[in-house]
Amino acid sequence: MRLKSVVSSLLLHPLQPGDTIGILGGGQLGRMLALAAAQLGLKTHIYAPEEDSPAFDVATRITQASYEDEEALRVFAESVDVVTYEFENIPLKTAQFVERLNRLHPGAKALSATQDRLIEKQTIAALGLATAPFKAVDQRDDLVKAIEVLGTPSILKTRCFGYDGKGQVMIRAADEAKEAYASLQGAPAILEGFVPFTREISVVAVRAANGAFAAYDVCENIHAHHILSETRLPAAITPATHQKALNMAQSLADALDYVGVLAVEMFVTQDENGAEALIINEMAPRVHNSGHWTLEGAKTSQFEQHIRAICGWPLGSCKRLGTVMMRNLIGVDVDQWQALLQNPDNHLHLYGKSEARQGRKMGHVTQVMAL
Ligand SMILES: Nc1ncnc2c1ncn2[C@@H]1O[C@H](COP(=O)(O)OP(=O)(O)O)[C@@H](O)[C@H]1O
Ligand SMILES: [Mg+2]
């Protein structure tokens, strides 16, 4: 480790082959990042609390410790050349602690703006970009007032720690407020007006340390039980909407001084004349499930782009290579692995998780049909 306590910029000191990337979080995203790093001659050190972390199988070095363990974090941060994270629910304090010891990309600023739904919406709105209408809810009275303003249906969401629809309650009538509020057990929340969208899309983009920006084609996402089920490309949106979505992602990445891959989930709405508009739902400061198709469907995968960006290296091409269908294997879906391998057009990815719990992402399968 060349830096010790002096945090230098990627532009002055890009990583060299043989250097080590530290990754906070040990899920499948960390696993695929570590594989991309290895391809570029880099080592990885994964830090995660769970013993059976999927990324541990493919890393150079692992630390199994809690995100509150400052001694373990210090040893980790000082053993690597740059640190990144593979999920946004690591405590902000952990990210800030690591950022004082080494380079952290994306930085703690990007993490704080994306892990709290209130700050996230305020950040988006401050750039003049559209979000669902929202109100902060810190106590039950706030919820009653918010429902008066936003109406029903509306969705109550915890500000932090939500994913795959967890920490969310749909409110269909004002008299459901009491029960909905109680279900969050006092967690700070926001109420969001329901957006009558026609499609859900996302932009997976990457920004380099020198400000260079690249984005993949917009993808269309289909959810089942609040979990991403399928991603398809091209998205059935107009070229103008497509360009607008990419521009919105670039504004966000620039505003956050972002380095790495950023995913932006959006709703597409249509007025009575069929004109499309875009509303930003949420951002993820990391590689994203809706970008898994890029492993085979784009010139450079999202995982390689993230590694290149956080190493201070030039970005690759985001060009799409065909028509794409990516399907998640959730829970017992993974039992289909043998049948899926019978189709030679399927690219099968399994994350090495031993227990196929309900709702757990076990793998995915991608098909790319040449253009
Ligand atoms: N304001 C909204 N209006 C309509 N549907 C919504 C709204 N917010 C969320 N949803 C639906 O719920 C899904 C999950 O919500 P999201 O905010 O993306 O949380 P998560 O962090 O769980 O992905 C979205 O993909 C969308 O289908
Ligand atoms: Mg989401």
Distance 228 CA to ligand 2 centre (A): 8
165 lines ligand 1 (CB under 6 A): yes
Give the number of other Cβ atoms within 10 Å of residue 120's Cβ.
23
**Measured between alpha carbons, how far apart are the two ends of the chain, in Å?**
45
What average pLDDT does this structure show over 281-305?
Answer: 98
What is the pLDDT, as a whole number, of residue 8? 67
Report CA(224)–ligand 1 centroid distance (Å).
11
Which tens digit of pLDDT belongs to each residue from 314-327?
999 999 999 999 99
Residue 57 has pLDDT above 90, yes or no: yes
For 188-229, the pLDDT digits (tens) are: 999 999 999 999 999 999 999 999 999 999 999 999 988 999
Task: Indicate if the pLDDT at residue 5 is higher than 50.
Answer: no
Please identify every residue whose CB atom is under 5 Å from ligand 2, which is an ion. 265
State the ligand closest to the CA atom of 267: 1
Query: For residue 109, how many other CB atoms are within 10 A of its CB?
Result: 18
Tens digits of residue pLDDT in 95-116: 999 999 999 999 999 999 999 9
Cα–Cα distance for residue pair 290/165, rounded to 1 Å: 16
Q: How many residues does the chain have?
A: 371
110-114 long-range contacts, CB within 8 A, separation 24+: 110/256, 110/257, 110/258, 110/262, 110/285, 111/85, 111/285, 113/256, 113/283, 113/285, 114/88, 114/282, 114/283, 114/284, 114/285
Strands 347-350 and 322-330: unpaired
DSSP state of 44: E
pLDDT number for residue 249: 98
Distances (CA, A) of 78 to 7, 55, 159, 240, 264: 11, 20, 32, 46, 32
Number of other CB atoms surrounding residue 367 within 10 Å: 17
Query: For 124, phi and psi rounded to 5 degrees?
Result: -65, -45
Helix (H) or strand (E) holding 45: strand 43-48
User: What's at 187, amino acid-wise?
Assistant: A
Asked if residue 226 has its Cβ within 6 Å of ligand 1, the reply is yes
Q: How high is the pLDDT of residue 163?
A: 84
- 118-152: per-residue pLDDT in tens? 999 999 999 999 999 999 999 999 999 999 999 99
Report yes or no: 91 and 73 within 8 Å, Cβ to Cβ: no
> Is 50 exceeded by the pLDDT of residue 345?
yes
Q: Which atom of ligand 1 is nearest to the CA of 166?
A: 22
Average per-residue pLDDT for the chain: 96
pLDDT for residue 371:
77
CA-nearest residue, atom 16 of ligand 1: 165
Pocket test for ligand 1, best of 226, 230, 288 (most atoms within 8 A of CB): 226
| Whole-number Å distance between alpha carbons of 303 and 289 | 11
Residue 280 confidence (pLDDT) above 90: yes
As given in the structure block, the two tokens for residue 202 are 């996302």
Looking from the CA of residue 154, the nearest atom of ligand 1 is: 1
- Strands 219-224, 227-233: pairing is antiparallel
What was the pLDDT predicted at 6? 45
Distance 267 CA to ligand 1 centre (A): 9
Tens digit of each residue's pLDDT (9 = 90 or more) over 219-267: 999 999 889 999 999 999 999 999 999 999 999 999 999 999 999 999 9
Q: What's the confidence (pLDDT) of residue 4? A: 44
Task: Report the share of the chain in percent with pLDDT over 70.
Answer: 98
Neighbouring CB atoms inside 10 A of 339's CB total 9
Mean pLDDT, rounded, for 170-196:
94
pLDDT band at 7, cuts 50/70/90? low
